[in-house]
């Protein structure tokens, strides 16, 4: 009986609490007359960023593509003359993208980032397909100072073996010293 | 069958297995690195630690390495015990101290055994703050990449390369944390099985350079179970595709054929599918002699118009049974020939008779169990490469026997090798020139082909009589063995060699019923087409002057001579690749390559195996049997032709049963060729149109060109790739095996078509002209298709003429002189390991004309400068980062 | 003259309730917006009231698709049934003294009968769609409506006992002479309100179309105006139940004389419509088994106790 009364009371309180909202102000921001503030980590248009040296951060590891729940990212790895990996093409089909940000979370190099820009409507769906030249920006985006190759063991132009962070110089394999 | 207790669960263990094998066979995940199912245990990595208890009262136990522990009745172990799990965790943590932060730019990422094992033990953070050791890489040739930083020093690579594959140019160098695996000097890896390093290495030290050129992660590859097209052994492979290109080939485990390993021709040769020489669509030659591209329908209509009157069909030993049968039905049995030369047909006739006889024909894996081998005139390493790997294991039987006598388990690899030292089971090689197996041979004889035949005849005589001679030594070696094996093949193009080998095997079998004979055929489906029709003679058929000739996937100009087709008015060629015959045809139809079409192939042991299409071919490219079906108007699917084959040829009854037909379903769903996490489905083709096309429908097989369907429960003949949760690398194969190293859970794939009951009467040797110019088959260079694979084509040797110093003196040439026949210029290599009065030349593109040449026709070239090493292509042997 | 007046009332009702249903589409969303601190539809016309018209145009203009696997006749018939049943229910509603379509002496029974007919619409719609979600929605609604019908009818029996008549006009007259039934029949009122929500399957009792588990329940396969009919039927049901509560428990048109009786009826009904919308805004949907056990294990005993007590009072006091 006590339980039943409590249950009824709880429903009545709910009704009253909701009714009280008749007199509260609406939270809605009337876009586009009024532009809302979007935090830097808002998940909008996706960009590809560059490292502090101005090189493409993307190493074409395919992790963003595999984590994408709608499979809207396609890319192909290629390599420069010095062994640096980069994408030959990088395509995002924004007509499929759900802006979930999983690609940004999966990215080991901070290359792929979501920006607060969400105004990207098109009359033609084909225009929603962004290629690398549309995605690549010239800055570092939200994360400054990170360069993947400076912490990875692979050598590239201007960064030899042993020159990455926390690496000893290459060993002399012919040494037999203890 | 001892019963052991693992975490208080009773497990039936197989006698002779080690604990790790027992645990894996029973589905208990234990991480490991240095153990390999084909190479046994050395206990180097300490990763497979478990707790072993002394007796039922022992509650503390002690840490033991499961790969080094034999199983005994009633033994108790714990995999889950806290100290074992923390021990395994700390081993991975130590291995990861120097492992670079490389996974995103590593070709192994996503199918890395080290990644899998790290996740399995639960290690996540590198607590050690010290510096990471680094190494410089080496250039190892166009096939294998090297990234030494990633090494965890499990020693699998050198154990495989030196101990298993017999290579001598990859070794461990240095001491303590400077241990380095590579060559003494940068350079192309010498061994023909170096590609297996990619699969043997548990991490990304050795990677597939050909894959890296157009890299895709394993999860993105669309794969299918295929049969290797590079030789007659019919190794099982996975061919993988993305963006319409064959990206790589991986080993597909088969417990009777190829086991865990492939040769480099098979692994890297399949890239010929991407060759720019592929024929993209149908063409009709116009009056000006140029090809006009036409639609496939128009071309087929045109060909139908030509099908009146007598039409000759020339099949091909590199086309599937289905395509050959479709051609035979189209032109009629009387007008069909299998497209082989008369010598080839005679040789394969011998192989067919041997297969049908009561002689024991072992499988390639069974070869490893014979304890005395005689190789008769077959260049195994170059002509049927994977067999050489099996022979290298067979000569270790003496060591295995010693181990068994001493009570050491077979898997105890280091101990067994320590015991056997340099003892080898006898391997006798009769060949006209040096052989890649000489290093393990107990006896070699360099003889001209005819002398090989007479030598074997002497051996047959010596089996019965007792007269000291070379032949007697060989005969007594064979007679002393428990299981002697005769290996021969078609590489010297001598039917007599095959016949006399069969006679020897028959003679031996009368003394010892466990004698085996293993004959290597020429091409992937040579045995199959010989079973369809081995009597049709191309020369005879074409001699009757026919208006229209249909050539199926066969380069007639190179194989049978260019004069043969000169009189033909309408030459219709169905082929995948441009070659001299396609470029003189009046109509060319684009055939699908092996990676784009289903097909059944019969290997040299008479095993019919189904190869599945990996991807849907682009544009008008169509499987050969479908083109021929359309011409015949009966539009049969692959399984329709398989039914026909069975109906028409009693001996091919197993073709239907060697794999399920297209109606096969697993709980109503097809088998997905793509992995369940294949990416980019809505973006791959979005640059063409944002409207995604429907996935192509597969009407020919129970597989589907999608990620939707089943994989883990597919039978071995249909399984498109090996993957199991937590086991992303190829090591997951043990999840599909009955027991480690055993047959697949779904049974052994392929159907052996011969039961072998007839008594072999013995072959009459035919008269053969003594050949002095001997073409040597080359693993890279002698296969029409794999020559077109971009990376392999750089490894084709330059023309040479190898001869003994006496022969050189008689020809008045010396080392590194030039020798010419027509416009073929060869470098003279003086090598006393070549049989007297013989000149060996490489069978590579451009040297075909030498096949009909005589020794006396060779001319010395004046003022010739020789390349530094004609056997090696001129490659840049430096690595950019070294 | 008498006959002409009937026609005026009939057409007045028709336009009134249809117009009301259309406006409700907008009004409900607006009100939900207010209670959920949003604005609701505010773009079409002043305060977004044009949305009602826009919705009508949209519903009429949409492709009216009949799935090839559906039972065509039943599929088309189902949505019309609910609108017909609900409209017929309005025939017995007395809006003001003398303003009613029919003063049946079994008015209450007629109303109960008509609301019961609505179940066929939902059931047939679900069945004819030949779709598993629609079928499940139809099944649920049949079980739910049949169950709640029981207490709906019983909850009114107290009123009938006190009044001694099934005629709705008589019930209002009784209240004019005595007091509103909400006082003596409070339990009956509560049960009737809850059963009424369940009958018109509105939130929180919209299990038949529970979109989180059944896509859209019985009308999954419906589109265009056929779907519109289901929607209109639901709003008609909402209005009808509100009118009935007012008539039976809140004195119908009765009220202080400064406003005409018709306006009093309208204001009271409107208040109940708002209350139903508030329920939708505030109360979450129960699980299906909770709904059924609540009905049979709680509502039914409650109604029977109410009936027993009322009967005793009528007999002995």
With an 8 Å Cβ cutoff, are C34 and A18 in contact? no
What pLDDT does residue B282 have? 93
Touching B: A residues 60-99, CB under 8 Å? 60-63, 65-66, 68, 70-77, 79, 81-83, 85, 89, 91-93, 95-96
CB count in 10 Å sphere of residue B272: 27
Considering only CB atoms, C282 lies closest to which of A4, A18, A28, namely A18
Least confident segment among B36-50, B252-266, B414-428, C14-28: C14-28
Considering only CB atoms, B219 lies closest to which of A66, A76, A160, namely A66
**Chain C residues with beta carbon closer than 8 angstroms to that of A17:** 282
CA B115 – CA B311 distance, rounded (Å): 59
**Chain C residues with beta carbon closer than 8 angstroms to that of A12:** none
Q: Is it the case that residue B13 has pLDDT exceeding 80?
A: yes
Question: In Å, how far is B609's CA from the nearest CA of chain A?
Answer: 34
Q: Is it the case that residue B76 has pLDDT exceeding 50?
A: yes
Inter-chain CB pairs, A–B, below 8 Å: 152
Q: Is it the case that residue B881 has pLDDT exceeding 50?
A: no
With an 8 Å Cβ cutoff, are C279 and A15 in contact? yes
CA B614 – CA B242 distance, rounded (Å): 10
What residues contact B265, with CB distance under 8 A and at least 6 apart? B192, B230, B231, B385, B779, B780, B783, B786, B792
Q: Is it the case that residue B468 has pLDDT exceeding 80?
A: no
C interface residues, A as partner, C-beta within 8 Å: 33-39, 278-279, 281-283, 298
CA C222 – CA C67 distance, rounded (Å): 9
CA C265 – CA A8 distance, rounded (Å): 29
What pLDDT does residue C256 have? 80
Over residues C143-152, the mean pLDDT reads 84
Over residues B482-505, the mean pLDDT reads 93
With an 8 Å Cβ cutoff, are A22 and C279 in contact? no
Over residues B584-595, the mean pLDDT reads 93
Q: Is it the case that residue B882 has pLDDT exceeding 50?
A: no
Over residues B118-131, the mean pLDDT reads 92
**Chain B residues with beta carbon closer than 8 angstroms to that of A68:** 679-680
- Binned at pLDDT 50, 70 and 90, residue B194 comes out as very high
Q: Any contact of C with B, at least 3 CB pairs below 8 A?
A: no
Chains contacting B (3+ CB pairs below 8 angstroms): A
Environment class of B853 (CB within 10 Å of its CB; exposed 0-12, middle 13-18, buried 19+): middle
**Chain A residues with beta carbon closer than 8 angstroms to that of C190:** none
Considering only CB atoms, A18 lies closest to which of C33, C35, C39, namely C35
What pLDDT does residue B879 have? 45
Question: In Å, how far is A76's CA from the nearest CA of chain B?
Answer: 7
**Chain A residues with beta carbon closer than 8 angstroms to that of C34:** 21-22, 26
Q: Is it the case that residue B876 has pLDDT exceeding 70?
A: no
**Chain A residues with beta carbon closer than 8 angstroms to that of B881:** 82-83, 155, 160-161
Considering only CB atoms, A65 lies closest to which of B133, B680, B691, namely B680
With an 8 Å Cβ cutoff, are A22 and C34 in contact? yes
Torsion angle of C-alpha atoms B869, B875, B876, B882, degrees rounded to 10: -90
- Binned at pLDDT 50, 70 and 90, residue A102 comes out as very high
Mutation choice for B interface testing from A68, A71, A146 by most B CBs within 10 A: A71
Q: Is it the case that residue A109 has pLDDT exceeding 60?
A: yes
B47 or C91, which is more confident: B47
Mutation choice for A interface testing from B127, B138, B171, B682 by most A CBs within 10 A: B682
With an 8 Å Cβ cutoff, are C37 and A22 in contact? no
Q: Is it the case that residue C99 has pLDDT exceeding 80?
A: no
What pLDDT does residue C43 have? 84
Inter-chain CB pairs, A–C, below 8 Å: 35
**Chain C residues with beta carbon closer than 8 angstroms to that of A3:** none
Length of chain B: 882
- Binned at pLDDT 50, 70 and 90, residue B544 comes out as low
DSSP chain A: -HHHHHHHHHHHHHHHHHHHGGGSPP----TTTSPPP--TT---SEEE-B-TTSSB------HHHHH-TT--EEEEEEE-TTS-EEEEEEEEETTT-----HHHHH-TTS-EEE-S------SSGGGGEE-HHHHB-SS-TTS-S--GGGTSS--BTTB-TT-STTEEEEP-TT----
**Chain A residues with beta carbon closer than 8 angstroms to that of B678:** 71
What pLDDT does residue B877 have? 47
- Binned at pLDDT 50, 70 and 90, residue B118 comes out as very high
What pLDDT does residue C151 have? 84
Least confident segment among B3-12, B327-336, B487-496, C307-316: C307-316
Q: What is the pLDDT of residues B411-451, one digit of tens each?
A: 999 999 999 888 899 999 999 999 999 999 999 999 999 99
CA A67 – CA B391 distance, rounded (Å): 46
Q: What is the pLDDT of residues C149-196, one digit of tens each?
A: 888 888 888 888 888 888 888 888 888 888 888 888 888 888 888 888
- For residue C11, give the DSSP letter: H
- For residue C99, give the DSSP letter: B
User: Domain-by-domain residue ranges, chain C?
Assistant: 68-316
Q: What is the mean pLDDT of chain B?
A: 90
Q: In the structure encoding, which two tokens stand for residue B81, read together? A: 């015990």
Please list the residues that pair with B12 across neighbouring strands. Answer: B3
What pLDDT does residue B823 have? 87
CA B58 – CA B60 distance, rounded (Å): 6
- Binned at pLDDT 50, 70 and 90, residue B864 comes out as confident
What pLDDT does residue B880 have? 45
Q: What is the pLDDT of residues B815-844, one digit of tens each?
A: 888 888 888 889 999 988 898 888 999 999
Please report, rounded to a whole number, the percentage of residues in chain B having pLDDT higher than 90: 68
What pLDDT does residue B683 have? 93
**Chain B residues with beta carbon closer than 8 angstroms to that of A111:** none
With an 8 Å Cβ cutoff, are C283 and A11 in contact? yes
Q: What is the pLDDT of residues C48-73, one digit of tens each?
A: 888 888 888 888 888 888 888 888 88
Q: At what angle do helices C261-282 and C2-35 cross, to 10 degrees?
A: 30
């Amino acid at each position: 009986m006590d339980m039943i009364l409590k249950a009824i009371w709880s429903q009545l309180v709910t009704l009253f609490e909701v009714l009280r909202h008749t007199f509260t102000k609406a939270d809605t921001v009337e876009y586009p007359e009024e532009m809302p503030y979007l935090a830097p980590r808002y998940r909008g248009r996706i960009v590809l960023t560059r490292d502090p040296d101005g090189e493409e951060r993307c190493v074409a590891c395919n992790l963003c593509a595999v984590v994408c729940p709608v499979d809207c990212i396609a890319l192909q790895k290629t390599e420069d003359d010095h062994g640096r990996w980069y994408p030959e093409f990088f395509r995002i089909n924004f007509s499929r993208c759900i802006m979930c940000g999983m690609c940004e979370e999966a990215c080991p190099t901070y290359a792929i980032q979501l920006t607060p820009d969400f105004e990207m409507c098109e009359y033609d769906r084909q225009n929603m397909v962004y290629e690398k030249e549309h995605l690549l920006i010239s800055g570092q985006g939200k994360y400054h100072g990170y360069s993947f190759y400076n912490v990875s063991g692979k050598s590239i132009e201007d960064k030899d073996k042993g020159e990455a962070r926390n690496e000893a110089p290459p060993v002399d394999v012919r040494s037999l010293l203890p | 069958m001892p019963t052991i207790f693992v975490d208080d669960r009773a497990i039936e263990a197989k006698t002779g297995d080690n604990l790790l094998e027992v645990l894996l066979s029973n589905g208990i995940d234990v991480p490991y690195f240095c153990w390999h199912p084909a190479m046994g245990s050395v206990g180097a990595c300490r990763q497979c630690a478990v707790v072993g208890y002394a007796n039922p009262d022992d509650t503390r136990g002690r840490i033991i390495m499961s790969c080094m522990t034999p199983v005994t009745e009633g033994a108790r172990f714990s995999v889950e015990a806290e100290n074992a799990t923390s021990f395994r965790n700390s081993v991975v943590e130590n291995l990861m101290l120097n492992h670079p932060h490389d996974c995103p730019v590593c070709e192994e990422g996503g199918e890395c055994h080290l990644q899998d094992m790290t996740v399995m033990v639960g290690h996540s953070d590198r607590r050690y703050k010290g510096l990471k050791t680094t190494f410089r890489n080496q250039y190892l040739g166009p096939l294998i990449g090297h990234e030494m930083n990633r090494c965890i020093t499990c020693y699998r690579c050198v154990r495989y390369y030196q101990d298993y594959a017999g290579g001598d140019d990859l070794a461990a160098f240095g001491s303590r944390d400077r241990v380095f695996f590579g060559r003494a000097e940068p350079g192309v890896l010498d061994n023909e099985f170096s590609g297996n390093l990619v699969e043997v290495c548990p991490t990304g030290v050795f990677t597939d350079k050909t894959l890296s050129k157009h890299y895709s992660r394993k999860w993105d590859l669309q794969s299918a179970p295929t049969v290797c097209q590079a030789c007659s052994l019919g190794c099982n492979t996975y061919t993988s595709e993305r963006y319409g290109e064959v990206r790589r080939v991986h080993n597909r485990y088969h417990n009777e054929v190829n086991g865990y390993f492939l040769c480099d021709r098979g692994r890297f040769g399949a890239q010929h599918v991407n060759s720019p020489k592929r024929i993209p669509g149908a063409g009709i030659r116009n009056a000006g002699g140029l090809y006009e591209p036409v639609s496939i329908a128009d071309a087929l209509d045109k060909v139908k118009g030509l099908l009146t009157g007598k039409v000759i069909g020339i099949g091909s030993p590199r086309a599937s049974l289905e395509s050959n049968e479709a051609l035979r039905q189209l032109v009629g049995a009387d007008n069909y020939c299998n497209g082989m030369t008369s010598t080839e047909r005679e040789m394969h006739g011998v192989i067919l008779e041997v297969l049908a006889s009561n002689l024991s024909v072992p499988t390639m894996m069974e070869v490893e169990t014979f304890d005395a081998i005689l190789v008769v005139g077959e260049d195994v390493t170059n002509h049927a490469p994977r067999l050489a790997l099996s022979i290298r294991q067979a000569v270790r039987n003496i060591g295995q026997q010693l181990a068994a006598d001493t009570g050491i388990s077979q898997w105890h690899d280091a101990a067994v090798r320590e015991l056997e030292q340099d003892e080898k089971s006898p391997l006798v090689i009769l060949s006209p020139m040096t052989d890649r197996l000489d290093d393990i041979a107990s006896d070699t004889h360099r003889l001209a082909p005819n002398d090989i035949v007479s030598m074997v005849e002497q051996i047959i005589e010596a089996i019965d009589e007792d007269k000291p001679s070379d032949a007697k030594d060989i005969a007594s070696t064979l007679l002393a063995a428990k299981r002697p094996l005769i290996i021969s093949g078609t590489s010297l193009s001598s039917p007599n060699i095959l016949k006399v080998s069969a006679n020897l095997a028959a003679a031996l079998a009368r003394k010892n019923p466990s004698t085996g004979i293993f004959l290597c055929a020429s091409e992937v489906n040579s045995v199959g087409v010989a079973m369809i029709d081995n009597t049709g003679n191309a020369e005879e058929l074409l001699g009757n002057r026919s208006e229209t000739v249909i050539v199926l996937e066969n380069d007639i100009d190179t194989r049978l001579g260019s004069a043969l087709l000169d009189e033909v008015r309408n030459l219709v060629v169905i082929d995948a690749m441009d070659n001299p015959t396609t470029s003189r045809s009046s109509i060319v139809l684009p055939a699908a390559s092996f990676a784009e079409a289903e097909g059944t192939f019969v290997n040299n042991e008479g095993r019919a195996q189904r190869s599945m299409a990996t991807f849907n071919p682009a544009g008008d490219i169509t499987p050969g049997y479908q083109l021929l079906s359309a011409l015949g108007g009966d539009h049969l699917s692959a399984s329709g032709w398989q039914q026909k084959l069975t109906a028409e040829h009693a001996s091919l009854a197993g073709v239907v049963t060697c794999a399920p037909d297209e109606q096969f379903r697993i709980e109503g769903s097809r088998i997905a060729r793509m992995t369940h996490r294949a990416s980019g489905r809505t973006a791959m083709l979005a640059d063409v149109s944002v409207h995604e096309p429907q996935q192509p429908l597969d009407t020919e097989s129970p597989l589907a060109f999608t990620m939707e369907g089943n994989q883990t429960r597919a039978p071995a003949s249909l399984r498109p790739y090996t993957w199991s949760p937590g086991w992303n690398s190829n090591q997951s194969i043990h999840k599909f095996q009955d027991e480690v190293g055993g047959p697949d859970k779904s049974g052994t794939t392929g159907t052996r078509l011969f039961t072998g009951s007839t008594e072999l009467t013995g072959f009459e040797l035919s008269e053969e002209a003594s050949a002095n110019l001997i073409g040597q088959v080359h693993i890279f260079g002698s296969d029409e298709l794999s020559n077109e694979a971009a990376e392999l084509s750089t490894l084709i040797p330059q023309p040479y003429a190898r001869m003994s110093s006496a022969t050189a003196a008689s020809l008045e040439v010396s080392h590194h002189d030039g020798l010419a026949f027509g416009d073929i210029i060869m470098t003279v290599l003086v090598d006393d390991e070549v049989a007297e009065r013989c000149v060996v030349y490489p069978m590579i593109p451009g040297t075909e004309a030498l096949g009909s040449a005589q020794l006396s026709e060779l001319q010395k070239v004046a003022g010739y400068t020789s390349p530094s090493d004609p056997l090696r292509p001129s490659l840049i042997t430096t690595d950019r980062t070294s | 003259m008498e006959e002409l007046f009937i026609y005026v009332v009939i057409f007045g009702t028709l336009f009134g309730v249809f117009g009301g249903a259309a406006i409700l589409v907008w009004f409900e969303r607006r009100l939900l917006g207010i209670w959920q601190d949003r604005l609701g539809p505010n773009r079409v016309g002043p305060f977004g009231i044009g949305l009602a018209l826009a919705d009508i145009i949209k519903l009429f203009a949409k492709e009216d698709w009949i799935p090839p696997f559906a039972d065509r006749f039943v599929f088309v018939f189902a949505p019309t049934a609910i609108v017909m049943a609900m409209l017929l229910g309005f025939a017995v509603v007395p809006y003001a003294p003398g303003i009613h379509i029919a003063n049946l002496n079994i008015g209450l029974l007629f109303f109960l009968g008509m609301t019961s007919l609505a179940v066929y619409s939902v059931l047939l719609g679900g069945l004819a769609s030949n779709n598993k979600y629609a079928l499940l929605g139809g099944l649920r609604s049949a079980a739910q409506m049949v169950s709640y019908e029981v207490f709906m009818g019983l909850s009114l029996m107290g009123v009938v006992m006190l009044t001694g008549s099934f005629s709705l006009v008589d019930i209002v007259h009784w209240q004019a002479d005595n007091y509103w039934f909400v006082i003596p029949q409070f339990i009956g009122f509560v049960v009737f309100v809850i059963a009424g929500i369940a009958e018109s399957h509105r939130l929180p009792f919209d299990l038949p179309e529970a979109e989180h588990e059944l896509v859209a329940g019985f009308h999954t396969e419906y589109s265009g105006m056929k779907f519109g009919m289901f929607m209109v039927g639901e709003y008609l049901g909402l209005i009808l139940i509100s009118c009935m509560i007012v008539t039976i428990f809140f004195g119908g048109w009765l009220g202080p004389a400064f406003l005409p009786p018709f306006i009093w009826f309208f204001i009271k009904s409107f208040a109940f419509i708002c209350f139903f919308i508030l329920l939708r805004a505030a109360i979450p949907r129960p699980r299906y088994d909770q709904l059924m056990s609540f009905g049979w294990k709680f509502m039914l005993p409650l109604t029977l106790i109410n009936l027993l007590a009322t009967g005793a009072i009528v007999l002995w006091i």
